[in-house]
Structure 1
Amino acid sequence: MAKVHMKLARVCRVHDILLDFITCKAAEENFITSVDSVDHGPVSDYKVRRLCVDNRNIQENILLRGLILSHVRSLTIFGNFLQIPLSTFTALRVLDLEYCQMLQDHHLAYIEKLFHLKYLKVNSNLITELPQKIGELRYLETLDISRTGIAELPPNIVRLQRLARLYVCHRTIFPDGIIGQMQSLEELDKFGVFSYKHEKPLKEFGQLTKLRSLTIRCDLHWSTDSEGSQADDLDSCMESLISSCTVRNLRILKLYNSPLSCPMSLDSWCSAAPTTNRLQKFHITFCYISKVPNWMSSLRNLKELKLYIYSLRPEDFEILGEMPSLIFLNLKTFYGTNGRIYVCGDNKGFSSLKCFSLDIIYSGTAVEFEAGSMPKLEHLKLEFPLIEMESPMSASELGIRHLSNLTKVDLVFLSCFHYDSNYDPAADKEDSIIKSVATLIKAVAEALPNNPTIKFELRW
């Protein structure tokens, strides 16, 4: 059975000689044609399908002489923009301008001529608006303008009847009534909420029957008495999203700009989550909540949960443990109740959990896993400060001996004096609390049945 890991590698690096070989081989097979200031051999005499142009580190733009461009399906540009118009690529399906430097509005002129375009990604603060005829790209399925200076979407974006994935900056404004008309939308990242008046667009998401993934960023200030009813309306919208039968991945960033002394309550978000709820991934981050609300135990299909909780209580773990499908759990907190975070081992909770990450901000909190707690846990990541001469962690191995299925342990110690991305307690010649804790945990973990890999890291 494949092991479950917290992070997956997205990129890799190869030697320059190997890269040149890959580039030449890809050109020979007509898989991808790469054109830059380095001569990789003839690139003409055949119809180019996938073209990558690298205009970086050269004084003049590369001229695409000899290439048959009418059959190009995919175009990626690094560095300066091309000297030829985009309308030359009449068969283009994919246009990736993420790494195209100094990209400006006029570079996207006549983009509507790319009739077959399915994927468009641009990245430049100099792009301030989409072309007015963007709606003519009737086959466009993915539009990524998340790293541009576009302040508002044009109304005719609703003509993109096949648009399934839309990535925007949280500052980008959606005209009134637009969201409800984007019936093909399956994923939206990231919708910004700056005012309580934005509750109306939030309600429109309920009209999107195909919507599966939604990221919302809220930049709202703590509500006063005069805004109380508006805050209730916003809570009602959130309840509608959570109770939706279509949204499966919901991420909410920075819910309120509230003082740390006033953590948010989510009790009113759901009176009772329906059994038909399909939510599988749920994040509420950059805003601390007061406690885990009782209704979360009703999220029967939830597989991944990430929360910032002001203070972790035993009751919070009881509620979280009732989620039968939960696999990934990521918590961040200031401290535990009475200086302790205790994971009870009743052999009932966390029946599916395989990855658990806990980040403790303040020192003075002890963590203890009881026998029978998190019975299927494979990957444990803990981050906590070890900066005092006396710490409740110093005499404990955290109950790791009870987590018999562990295959990977990551421990991050926050210290005022040291930084080491790959700390080895055996090589540390100083007698310190960090060394004693790491040595103890390592000895206990190495005695577990699966012989888990162990990594220690020191951070300031």
Structure 2
Amino acid sequence: GRLFNNQETDRRGVKHLLEEMAKSNLQSLLLDNYLHHLLDLLIASWAKKRPQYLRKFELRIPGCLPLVPPDIGSLIALTHLHIHVEAVEPQPVHALGCLPNLVVLRLELSTDPTLTVCGTDGFQCLKVFWYGGGGNGIGLRFEVGAMPQLRRLRLDLDAREAMLNYGHLQFGIQHLPCLVHVHAIIQCKDASAGTEVDGMEAFIRDQVSLNPNDPVLEINTRVQRSVAKAAEGAVIAIHNRE
């Protein structure tokens, strides 16, 4: 189905659909472009519930939210989450870490805060973490015990901002015991920023080399462009158990 507004008829229909899906024999569920003003309905229908046969539940929220919704931690069936927020704060991020089945997290930011992840933050099952968005990934720090099952890490880094903070950057990648792959996207304002990009690449290589697993490192450079994205409707995709 596709949702374009917040009319009460839409909300009633979505509520009914979500309630029925929570009682079904679904194996896979994708809520793509699921509008943030309907999150309350999803939480009301799925809080603390995980259908017996559900193996994958992916939620992609369009647009930018002020913060991570704290109640999202009640969606214990979530396995994949894509979310874009203005800023991150410790308590809502801890709510994400408490999701017991979350294996893939894409957390995009509109600002450049410092986020420190430690062992007490949870993320016990997380295997893939994509952090940043538009180059805002330089504030990430891992402490001992953080994300113990993480295998793949993707970082969005702004070359100029990162080099300005070069002396203070320490990702703590060496504290990720299962890491096997790091993908760094280096954003630059124009194609002439070669020195900054080269310096950022060298820094990333040094950081990744600290991890005893010798992870595969993939580096891509991207010249930033302003592109208007067309509006999209919400998509719900499901797979029933046969």
TM range (shorter): 0.7 to 0.9
- Report if aligned partners of 1:281, 1:304 keep a CA contact under 8 Å in 2: yes
How far is the alpha carbon of 1:459 from its aligned partner?
0.2
Q: Structure 2 CA distance, aligned partners of 1:324 and 1:341?
A: 21
5+ residue gaps in structure 2?
A: 224-242
Q: Which residue of 2 aligns with 1:199?
A: 11
Deviations, residues 198-242 of structure 1 (Å, cap 9, x unaligned): 334435525xxxxxxxxxxxxxxxxxxxxxxxxxxxxxxxxx47x
Residues 211-360 of structure 1 aligned to structure 2 (within 5 Å)? 240=19, 244-246=22-24, 248-253=28-33, 255=35, 266=39, 270=43, 273-278=46-51, 280-336=56-112, 339-346=113-120, 349-360=122-133
Radius of gyration: which is bigger? 1
Q: SS of the residue aligned with 1:356?
A: strand
2:219 paired with 1:456: yes
Aligned to 1:52: none
Which residue of the partner structure matches residue 374 of structure 1? 147
Q: Conserved in 1, the CA contact under 8 Å of 2:108 and 2:133?
A: yes
Contact 1:329 / 1:355 at 8 angstroms: preserved in 2? Answer: yes
Return the alpha-carbon distance in structure 2 between the equivalents of residues 271 and 373 of structure 1: 30
Alignment CA distance shift 1:300-1:285 (3 Å): closer
- Normalised to the residue count of structure 1, the TM-score between the two structures is 0.42
Identity of aligned residues (%): 23
Matched to 1:443, the amino acid is D
State the AA in 2 paired with 1:324.
P
Give me the CA root mean square deviation: 3.1
Distance 1:304 1:406 in 2: 19
Q: Residue 275 and residue 194 in structure 1: after superposition, are their counterparts in 2 closer, same or farther (change >3 A)? A: closer
| 3-state SS of paired residue (1:282) | strand
* Paired amino acid for 2:122: G
Cα distance in structure 2, aligned partners of 1:360 and 1:393: 19
Counterpart amino acid of residue 311 in structure 1: A
* Structure with the higher fraction of residues in helix conformation: 2
Query: Structure 1 residues 203, 267: CA separation in 2 closer, same or farther (over 3 Å shift)?
Result: closer
Structure number with the bigger relative contact order (C-alpha 8 A, sep ≥ 6) is 2
1:305 and 1:388 map into 2 onto residues whose CA distance is 27
CA contact (8 A) 1:271 1:295 kept: no
Output aligned runs, 1:420-435, within 5 Å. 432-435=195-198
**Whole-Å separation in 1 of the counterparts to 2:175 and 2:196:** 23
Offset of 1:438 from its aligned partner? 2.2
Change (3 A) 1:267 1:294: farther
Shift of 1:446: 2.6
Match among 409, 416, 424 for residue 182 of structure 2: 409
**Measured at CA, do residues 249 and 272 of structure 1 come closer, stay the same or move farther in structure 2, by a change above 3 Å?**
closer
Counterpart CA distance in 2 for 1:294 and 1:388 is 30
Which of 384, 396, 403 is the equivalent residue of 2:169?
396
Residues 335 and 362 in structure 1, CA contact (< 8 A), matched pair in contact too: no
Deviations 1:337-393 (A, max 9, x none): xx31222333x6111111111133365952211221111111000113223485335
Q: Determine the C-alpha separation between the residues in 2 that align with 1:439 and 1:352.
A: 31
Choose which of 439, 443, 449 in structure 1 pairs with 2:206.
443
Distance 1:297 1:411, change over 3 A: same
SS of corresponding position for 2:174: helix
Distance 1:362 1:332, change over 3 A: same
Q: Write the distance in 2 (CA, Å) between the matches of 1:194 and 1:270.
A: 20
Letter in 1 for 2:92: D
Question: Is the CA contact 1:378–1:408 (under 8 Å) kept in the aligned structure 2?
Answer: yes
CA–CA distance in structure 2, aligned partners of residues 410 and 332 of structure 1: 15
Paired residue type of 1:387: R
Structure 1 residue 443, shift from structure 2 partner: 2.5
Match of 2:240 in 1: none
In structure 2, relative to structure 1, the CA distance for the partners of 1:265 and 1:362 (3 Å cut) is farther
SS of 2:131's partner is strand
Distance in 2, Cα, partners of 1:349 & 1:296: 14
